[in-house]
Structure 1
Amino acid sequence: MSKKQETQQVKTIRCAIYTRKSTEEGLQQEFNSLDAQREAGEAFIASQKAEGWRCLPEMYDDGGFSGGNLERPAMKRLMEDIEAGKVDCVVVYKVDRLSRSLMDFSRVMETFDKFGVSFVSVTQQFNTTHSMGRLTLNILLSFAQFEREIIGERIRDKIAAMRAKGKWSGGMPVLGFDVDRSGTSPKLVVNATEAKQVRKIFEMYLEYRSLLPVVKRLQEFGWPNKIWRTRTGRTRGGRVFDKPAVHSLLTSPLYVGKIAYKEHIYEGEHDAIIDQDTFDAVGKMLKAHQKGRAQRLVNKYSALLKGILVCPYCDCRMVHRTTKRKSSVYRYYACQTTVKSGADACEMGSVSAAMIEAAVVDELRVIVDDQGLRDAVYQGSKGLLDKEQAEVETLLAQLKAQINRDTKEVQRILKHEVFENLNDIRVEDLKARIATAEADVVVATEKLKQVAARQLSRLDIDIAMSDFKVVWTSLTAKERVHLVELLIARVVYDPDAGSMAISYHPTAITALVEECEEAVA
């Protein structure tokens, strides 16, 4: 191979030079600090020309901007170009030109790594295209992670200390309270208008003894949940009450003048809205209701279509519910929207669990007898696996080509007996790349074997579908749920038309073959 052909094979590395100066002093000079930084970067890139390095014409210069944060126009442009795939390597004069904050630096490095961008500091022997540079980077990032964890612990300790003293530690305010920020620390103060609504909600629950009637009454009143304005001027909250929101309100110790932190309850600095007796009575009633529901629950694996059945009107999942009728338990599916917000929130009524589950199983039995479907399944399964096999084979070819190129490059360097530091590092880096690629070849080869093992013949499909009826009757309730989850992605039942649409997983037939083989074995 000629040198010209070798040069053509070297990948072009698009290098962006980033420069920064904290003050504007001296920037008006004909040759200033930013120019000097850029000149050093250009010289370094030129020294790597044989490796395919090329300097981009775009100027990323931040004059008069601190390195303590990332709020810099040129830095933002650089990050946008990196995310757009326009940059392969970022070159700076010194590491602190990029950032003086270790945490900000770690975040920038994470972005670089995400988009496959290398980082070079010209004067500090810091180059993430080489193994030593990557090691240094990992050490820096480890310290950054340690710093983040220490800061997190300090924040958690501060919150715990504030809560123990009964102070409001921030977060979203709840209905009935506003946040007074006029003092040295924020404090909860009672909102008289909202406090009346809170007392009414507690009264209604004691009267109705159920969450759903309270939700309906609140919707009739047109009372939304807490609305507040953030310090940046944005309006938050104001959502319509549903059952979880009402339950959260009724169980919040804030309303009896207390502050909760994890498992502990502390006396708060703020005034109470609800007296302790009322709060305890509501809490006792809620617990009794939950205990009664728990006693009515049946085997959790009896819900064959849990997480699969979908409401045709609002596209929400339908949840499995039970109710007791005389001496028997009745199972049904209800739209999640109606469960949270009442029957008026969605047109969908309840669906008998026994009816819809039997209909889905009958559909499966009919489908497995359809010869046309068997042919379609075979073609579809073969197409998916052929595509996956082709992708793995392409990856293998690329890895082997990379190993071949890097091996020849190592041989070329050693043949010319050039043992300068730069070439020594280059050889070690190439050897590391070869070792990584060889490991990837082993993984890809194993994956190729797995894909080949999953290839199904027409006979496999015929046997699996013929065995389905026998296998189904021998499965336990838990095993049936598992098989349905493997086969079916989504079921939409239309009560008006009395029809349903079933969507299957692309790999459903493979799962069916495996399940049938296990059952027969």
Structure 2
Amino acid sequence: MRTIRKIEQSIHRIKKRKKVAAYARVSMESERMQHSLSAQVSYYSSLIQKNPDWEYAGVYADYGISGTGIKKRQDFQRMLEDAEAGKIDIILTKSIQRFARNTVDLLQTVRRLKEQGVEVWFEKENIHTMSGDGELMMTILASFAQEESRSISENVRWRVKKRFEKGIPNGHFRIYGYRWKGDQLVIIPSEAAIVKRIFQNFLDGKSRLETEREFAAEGIKTRNGCQWLDSNIKKILTNITYTGNLLLQKEYITDPITKHRKKNRGELMMYYVENTHEAIIDKATFDYVQQEMARRRELGPLANKALNTSCFTGKIKCGICGKSFVHCIRHDRGGAEVWICQSHKVRNCRCSMKGAIPAKVLNEECAAVLGLAEFDGKVFLDRVEKILVPEHHTMIFYLKDGWAVTRHWVSTAKKDCWTDEYKDRQRDWMRNYMANGKGTRFSPFTTRVRCAVCGHAFRRCKQRKKQGISVHWRCGQGGKCSSLSVREEDLMKIAADAMGLEAFDGDRFREEIDFMEAGAEDQITIHFKDGRIQTVPWTKPKKQGTRHTETYKEYMSQLGKKRWTPERKQRMSEQMKALRKERGENWQRQ
């Protein structure tokens, strides 16, 4: 028997090429390092393009950037973005040190790439991150690279220390008022004049805030074209470099990996080098300014003349966030003076302290604690150390003799601020506000329709009906007044006819008519702004009921017959006989 064998056509599958990129980096900016980086880029470009199984995806290179971090390496970040976009399958790099010297950054980056299916090859260590033991070896070697970076940093720190001992600064730092000319600081006259003015303002008793406002008014800018701030002025006043001397190692790096800088407050030795450059401010003036700053710091806000201070300034402390209470005037309550926690004047306040302390209550409580008939600010400053507010309506007075007195108070600020004068002012404002139609919910008739019976203003009332919403105007006294309500459409028609208009116009109504008197049984009176008075006859329309159709009448008749059965008639008859027998002859009246 013949056998038949089916021969299928074989399809030649083209092997997909891997998209390969490379990363190179040098940490120092020098001519030799630049050649090294160029050599790395050329080497990897040639290596990738020679391999027939690879597709060239580019070479990413960072020049003059340390490997202890990845945030500042722009090409490194661009490479990661391209890898996540699917443009890279394999990344080649010379060694772990070129890729990252920080163990945490290295592991996080490699794992992030592995999740995207991207493999990293470290040539020197012969490690492929997709292999089984790749991550273990990479972790060990990365730790060595990190420690090597730390060792290099210690060597650099030792070299910088030796420079400090010789009185040589570590690089050319930027300072307002000077420029570097070679290795020498040279004065810039225009900037030096600003520095002298800052010191002179402080010696004249002006605060830093006053100097800031003065420079802003005159348009004086910093070297970068920015406005002078309190922090900038403080740096000028505390920088000893303006005396012609240098103080070296005022800051130091706490960790070579994180590069975190910290102000030197005695942790490391500082080096004072005299007469290194020309002075802008003499040393005696500088020392006096430091003493004055310390004195003002001790006084706190009371030393700042630019602030509106009182005896309570800096004395009242919040028991929740620890900040001081500040003085405020509430114009929405007739100019009431209160003290509130400073945190509440900042956006996204996290302090849970509620309410404010009225100035009147504060004075009364202080007088009671000090045993005074009336509050005296001088006595308060002499005897009270501070006032702690642990919660609303509670104050703890800490006296300078060691005693602590707790006081609980009740606020009457809202009641006190509503004086007769303030009430009249608010009424006038509200009346004008509504009458002028400034609020979107106010009608042209608001406050302009008055009751002819009692004189009160009419109010707008809405009523839902099957035909829609019915709008009426009624006396604000409600059931206490016998006046009649008026439909809004009737008011509009009468007002339009009085003004000689075909349709009602709200703006014209406000301009020409002062008010309307309504609610009487036979008329509506219109008072114009020019003095004219017009009386219009009006009769309240009768309520119109809904006429029932013949079909509806027949339906109700059949429904009554269906419900009024003989059994129900007999039951109702028996109930009425029992009721008459119980009540007697006068059963209907009861």
With normalisation by structure 2, the TM-score equals 0.39
With normalisation by structure 1, the TM-score equals 0.43
When you count helix as a share of all residues, which structure comes out higher? 1
When you count strand as a share of all residues, which structure comes out higher? 2
Q: Which has the larger radius of gyration?
A: 2
